[in-house]
Amino acid sequence: MTRIETDSLGQVEVPEQAYWGAQTQRSLSNFAIGTERMPIEVLHALALIKKAAARVNNRIGDLPPDVARLIEQAADEILHAQHDDQFPLVVWQTGSGTQSNMNVNEVIAGRANELAGGKRGGKSPVHPNDHVNRAQSSNDCFPTAMHIAAAKAVHGELLPALAELSGGLAELAARHNKLIKTGRTHMMDATPITFGQEMSAFVAQLDIAERTIRQCLPAVYELAQGGTAVGTGLNSPHGFAEAIAAELAALSGLPFVSAPNKFAALAGHEPLVALSGALKTLAVALMKLANDLRLLGSGPRGGFAEVRLPANEPGSSIMPGKVNPTQCEALSMLACQVMGNDMTISFAASQGHLQLNVFKPVIIHNLLQSIRLLSDGCRNFNTHCIAGLEPDPVKIDHIEEPWIKATVLVPDAYLGPVLALCEERRGVQQDLTYAGSRAMVVYRLPLNEVVFDFYDRLKSVSRGYASFDYQFDSYATGDLVLMNILINGEPVDALSVIVHRGEAERRGRALCERLKDLIPRQLFQVAIQAALGGRVVARETVKALRKDVLAKCYGGDVTRKRKLLEKQKEGKKRMRQFGQVDIPQSAFIAVLRMGDA
């Protein structure tokens, strides 16, 4: 069954059950391309615009109250997803999104006329152009809907999902912060690191991506509505742009404002390009996360096998018992898609010719797909991978450190200090021979005791006469522990070091003493602590700067002086609880040179 609808080109047959009219039906016939429908988020955003416009037009007397009420009622039904099947148009249509704007206009008018007691569809008492689209153009409605849909998707889906994944990784890092393992650079074994530190890098990367996304949002909040056809605001009343932006902000709960330059808002899409770039930043971080966990979980016999990935499903149809890193693979695939979407968005946004960019549907289609994939990916990866991931204690039950075979030639007069230095660095003497007035001593030494300052110390104790050479010897199990440095009660990861258990207290004291000299005095007392787990092995205190609060007190008013001193004491106590300590760069360098102590 069909009915007849009309537009400026004539009559069109429309399905009887459809709320849409002639222009939607023409688009269905003229653009039978692909299966990608216009994102429903955009259509809901257009419905929100029509509701806000009806309120503003009614308020200024340009729309009868009964018509405004019918438009709002029909728009609310769309916003509650009651008519999603009434929006059949594809992405591949006119580049301004005109057909989708008219699709929404016709559906609202068709449903409003039905609510008024008439038949479905038609143009009376509510007309899709004269009433629903009043003071609007597709050229400002569609870019406004793009911004609204993107902002709502970021706030409603992406940021909460990102917080879930970041929280899951942070909990994993905290739970295994003391588990020491081998760090790797260039895919080769490097110095030790804790599993918690390794996971904390991902938390920091996701935090950077989140901040980048949030920084893009203020520009996305700027709306093109009110610019109408070319940005001049033709056929919209004075103040309409600001009024509808305020109405949209109130309806959505997001801080939308009117774009300061409507010509740019119609002709370009830089805010969405920037947002897409921020989404790509997140995709890059997720790709790194997926690839690293895939490597760490490889095995179980021929790979790293340092983490146990959850077994969500059988990994093979021919190899029973095999478990594959499927969550990592899915996350890395969607990251690739987001990166590709960003390329499409960048090229499409660059094609704004004169007063209008006509690649709008493909821009918002790709942007919303990126947001959707990243949101679902973060939430799914946290639930099905991070929540069940555990480091394998069989593979990370001890840490091996590289040892070297060191040969030192030194005059007899300085042999004693050289031997003392080697012993201090956990050296094991292998050989000692004499050649005239010179001695050649051979030691096995841990490499990490040599790399920073051993050569400088050797030259110092021998007054420059000693010569030094070494070669790799072997790996040996080391009794290494993580020593955390706490400043004002808060751990500072960049100052924490992995040290030999037997040297922990000495190095902790030396580092605290050095940091005490390097951290400037604050208005409150600052505690510097070195801790192994929950046990503090060393502490120093940076005394507070003291302000003379009694300077203006004359005479012998002891009570007033006591009150001032008590008030100062309470203030310092509060500052110690909430104050930030500025740590100079030299303090971080001191960690690398702590062997000088």
Across 24-36, average pLDDT: 95
Buried b (16+ CB within 10 A) or exposed e, 418-441: bbebbeebbbeeeeeeeeeebbeb
The mean pLDDT of the chain is 89
DSSP output for 317-335? SSSTT----HHHHHHHHHH
Beta-bridged to residue 541, according to DSSP, are: 527
Give me the pLDDT at residue 555, please: 63
Where does the pLDDT of residue 319 fall: very low under 50, low under 70, confident under 90, or very high at 90 and above? confident
Give the range with max mean pLDDT: 271-285, 381-395, 545-559.
271-285
Across 570-574, average pLDDT: 62
CATH architecture assignment, domain 481-596 = 2-Layer Sandwich (3.30)
Give me the pLDDT at residue 320, please: 72
Tell me phi and psi for residue 443, to 5 degrees.
Answer: -130, 145
Closest CA to 408 of 455, 468, 460, 458: 468
Give me the pLDDT at residue 551, please: 62
CATH architecture assignment, domain 142-176+191-391 = Up-down Bundle (1.20)
Residue with the larger pLDDT of the pair 580 and 386: 386
> Judging by beta carbons within 10 Å of its beta carbon (0-12, 13-18, 19+), is residue 364 exposed, middle or buried?
buried
| Domain 2-134 identical in fold to domain 481-596 | no
CATH architecture assignment, domain 2-134 = Orthogonal Bundle (1.10)
DSSP output for 148-180? HHHHHHIIIIIHHHHHHHHHHHHHHHHHTTT-E
Q: Is 186 an active-site residue?
A: yes
Who contacts 10 (Cβ-Cβ below 8 Å, separation ≥6)? Answer: none
Across 394-400, average pLDDT: 65
Catalytic residue among 124, 316, 350, 586: 316
Radius of gyration of the chain measured on its C-alpha atoms: 35
Tell me yes or no: is domain 399-478 CATH 3.30.70.240. yes
Q: Do the Cβ atoms of 407 and 470 come closer than 8 Å?
A: yes
Cis upstream peptide for 160 (omega within 30°): no
CA–CA distance, 294 with 305 (Å, rounded to integer): 10
Give me the pLDDT at residue 503, please: 79
Residue 511 has pLDDT above 80, yes or no: yes
Give me the pLDDT at residue 595, please: 46
75-132: pLDDT as tens digits? 999 999 999 999 999 999 999 999 999 999 999 999 999 999 989 999 999 999 999 9
Catalytic residue among 29, 186, 238, 437: 186
420-464: pLDDT as tens digits? 999 988 899 999 999 888 999 999 998 878 876 788 889 999 999
Q: From residue 130, give the alpha-carbon distance in Å to each of 13, 136, 157, 241.
A: 22, 10, 35, 18
Across 278-295, average pLDDT: 97
Across 521-530, average pLDDT: 82
Residue 187 has pLDDT above 80, yes or no: yes
Who contacts 287 (Cβ-Cβ below 8 Å, separation ≥6)? Answer: 331, 332, 335, 336
Give me the pLDDT at residue 144, please: 98
Closest CA to 390 of 288, 286, 296, 326: 296
Give me the pLDDT at residue 489, please: 81
Domain regions of the chain by residue span: 2-134, 142-176+191-391, 399-478, 481-596
